[in-house]
Structure 1
Amino acid sequence: MSQPIPNGMSTISPHLVCDGAAQAIDFYKKAFGAEEMARLAGPDGKLMHGCVRIQGSTVMLVDEYPNYGMQSPKTLNGTPVTIHIYVPDVDAFVARAVEAGATVSMPVQDMFWGDRYGVLKDPFGHSWSIATHQRDVTAEEIAQSMKSMDGAC
């Protein structure tokens, strides 16, 4: 009998629509140290399915197929979704991603909730928040920090 969750898959996995999914796989390998798990091209050469593992989690990819309602952030003029990754060294991770072609949306900085945190946009329009947890903070400490922000949050 097969497993309800296939071997090597996460229970929750983002499934990204990309304008250039094959190039996105190559970018994620270079920028994020992703491990390629699958690449299935259709008759037109576009990817019908791709899969990578980033920091132990699976991310699936597909090329745009507007006829099937699959549109990338580039076509949609942005995305409301940010994919979050915890890494051992956020500064090094972000530097490598920028060198590979990502752009910084929010520079890496120490945050009041205990993470060193920054946000990137990849060349395919997807948003990624990257963090290294530095210290444990209580809910009360977080609430107090937010009060002192004068509505900035």
Structure 2
Amino acid sequence: MAEADYSFTEMLPITPRDLPFRRRMKATILRSSLPGRAKVNVPDGFNTVTPYFFVRGAEDFVDFLIAALGGDEVGRHLRPDGKIANAQVRIGSSTLMVSEATEANPATYGTYYLYVEDADESMRRALGHGASLEMEVADMPYGDRQGGVRDPFGNVWWISQRLEDGPYF
């Protein structure tokens, strides 16, 4: 078996500030390329980490994701009682999964960072569909135009428009 060539990692421009990151990145690349290392099979449209929402009123939550946050429903499976067992909603490049909460899987809440094309318009749309204001839209010192809302199901969404092309760090 031929030995892998990792010399491309040495060609990255390195500044003193980038050095720790570059070292970690190189180590990650080397680890993930080792022979015998299992490859993760992630379905199209999903990411390695995929949010899964258990909510009371899953059908209404799916409607909120579509109307307020610009999602598209990919599909759904129903339980015998007609409630959502699993629905998939795509927002941008991410797929979210949604189920009706049960005693075994009670409703949970989370906080999510959502990148959008226009933060002001996205905030207006979310607020117009029942979200409550957490933070007005403003330009942030880290290069985002951002505001925050809480959806009617208890989740907080930081709606952000990236203003800069570079990374955060």
TM normalised by structure 2 equals 0.71
Q: Aligned pairs, how many? A: 129
Q: Cα distance, 1:7 vs. partner?
A: 2.2
* Within-5 A mapping of 1:24-103: 24-66=61-103, 68=104, 70-73=105-108, 79=109, 81-103=110-132
- Runs of at least 4 residues off by over 4 Å: 136-139
Q: Cα distance, 1:137 vs. partner?
A: 8.1
| 1:54-88 deviation digits (Å, cap 9, x = unpaired) | 1221110011111x2x1214xxxxx4x31111111
Q: Distance in 2 between matches of 1:15 and 1:101?
A: 21
| 1:89-130 deviation digits (Å, cap 9, x = unpaired) | 100111111111111111111111111111111111111111
Q: Which has the higher contact order (CA 8 A, sep 6+)?
A: 1
Q: Distance in 2 between matches of 1:138 and 1:4?
A: 28
Which one has the largest radius of gyration? 2
Is residue 17 from structure 1 mapped to residue 46 from structure 2 by the alignment?
no
Q: Distance in 2 between matches of 1:7 and 1:138?
A: 27
Q: Distance in 1 between matches of 2:167 and 2:95?
A: 29
Q: Which residue of 2 aligns with 1:131?
A: 160
Find the residue that maps to 1:117 and give its secondary structure: strand
Q: Distance in 1 between matches of 2:43 and 2:116?
A: 24
Q: Distance in 2 between matches of 1:22 and 1:40?
A: 11
One-letter identity of the residue aligned with 1:71:
P
Q: Distance in 1 between matches of 2:93 and 2:77?
A: 21
List alignment gaps of at least 5 residues for structure 1.
Answer: 74-78, 140-153
- Counting aligned pairs with the same residue, the percent is 35
TM normalised by structure 1 equals 0.78
Q: Distance in 2 between matches of 1:132 and 1:13?
A: 21
List alignment gaps of at least 5 residues for structure 2.
Answer: 1-39
Find the residue that maps to 2:128 and give its secondary structure: helix
Q: Distance in 2 between matches of 1:41 and 1:124?
A: 20
Find the residue that maps to 1:97 and give its secondary structure: helix
Find the residue that maps to 1:91 and give its secondary structure: helix
